Amino acid sequence: MSLQSFQKALADMFAFPSLCIEIRKNPVEALKEYNLSSIEESRIINISHQRGMSVCCTLYRMNKISPIFNLLPRTCFLLGKDLQTELEAYWHSNRESNLHFNREMIAFAYYLKQRVKNDIIRNDYLIETLDYEMSINKLRYLPRNRITELLLNRLTIGSDYPKIYLHPLIKLVEFRHDPEVLLSMLADMLPLPYHIPETRCFVLLDATSSDLDARKINFELGDILLYIENHPQTSINSSEMQILIDSNLIIYEEDYRNLIQQIPALESFINPL
């Protein structure tokens, strides 16, 4: 009965090929939730039978999968033959289209984590690989030059501001398998199964310079940085604190607050995944 309902039905038909097929088979049942006039319903049915519908649906799907495949290539490779199944289930559970690549990637990552948590997806390497790729992309989307400029001009006196935060251009990723071995296998696109012994370790992603650097660190340093990331109000030994500050791994609370004031959107990026 309204243009909005007609447009919604048309958009859903492009987004979900199964709806297009159902409209062809049983249009009354398939279109009952759209509250269309008889003329609008007739137009939708005619459109569903047009030869170009297959191409339209394919192009729509390509636009939807591009950010996921481009930003999470290792995750997609690990899913293997299950990728299409998971994408279909994700699209049906999340019908909101988002043309912002970063947001679409985050939504799909959250969906995958819930599937693993609910024991629907069983893959020993998926979560750590997903966290690694999500962390890389978070750093890529940050205003890195602006953050560096603001921190270079800071006037913070450490003794007056004992509380600390992880540096916003640093991300810590915890692995349950040797990341050098796992990431090498993924880079070479070696098919599963992998037989990598379990071992707890960390990868430090560092975007404080012009290039994004990834390096494996020992679990002692990893545990300290992980604790700071999850408990930013916590102070540590003053000598250790100065070493971490000089290494651009942590910043003082006042620097953090100044960054948030000048770059308001930064807080959602700094928070852990």
Complete DSSP assignment for 105-155: HHHHHHHHHHHHHTTSS--TTHHHHHHHHHHHHHHHTS-HHHHHHHHHT--
Longest dimension (CA), the chain: 77
pLDDT band at 174 (very low <50, low <70, confident <90, very high): very high
> Average model confidence (pLDDT) for the chain?
86
Question: What is the per-residue pLDDT for 273?
Answer: 46
The gap from C-alpha 151 to its chain's centroid, in whole angstroms, comes to: 26
Q: Whole-angstrom Cα distance, residue 13 to residue 31?
A: 10
Enter the pTM of the model.
Answer: 0.82
The gap from C-alpha 128 to its chain's centroid, in whole angstroms, comes to: 13
| pLDDT tens readout for residues 111-167 | 999 999 999 999 999 999 999 999 999 898 888 888 888 888 775 555 555 688 899
Question: What is the per-residue pLDDT for 95?
Answer: 65
Please give the structure tokens belonging to residue 230: 């999850």
Please give the structure tokens belonging to residue 85: 């199944």
pLDDT band at 78 (very low <50, low <70, confident <90, very high): very high
Query: What SS3 state is found at 44?
Result: helix
Q: What is the mean pLDDT of residues 178-190?
A: 95
| pLDDT tens readout for residues 10-34 | 888 887 788 888 899 998 888 888 8
Question: What is the per-residue pLDDT for 7?
Answer: 87
> Which residue from 199, 198, 196, 203 is spatially nearest to 182, judged by alpha carbons?
196
| pLDDT tens readout for residues 199-257 | 999 999 999 887 899 999 988 899 989 988 888 777 677 777 778 888 888 888 888 88
Q: Whole-angstrom Cα distance, residue 101 to residue 199?
A: 33
Question: What is the per-residue pLDDT for 156?
Answer: 57
> Residue 34 contacts by C-beta under 8 Å, 6 or more apart in sequence?
5, 6, 8, 9
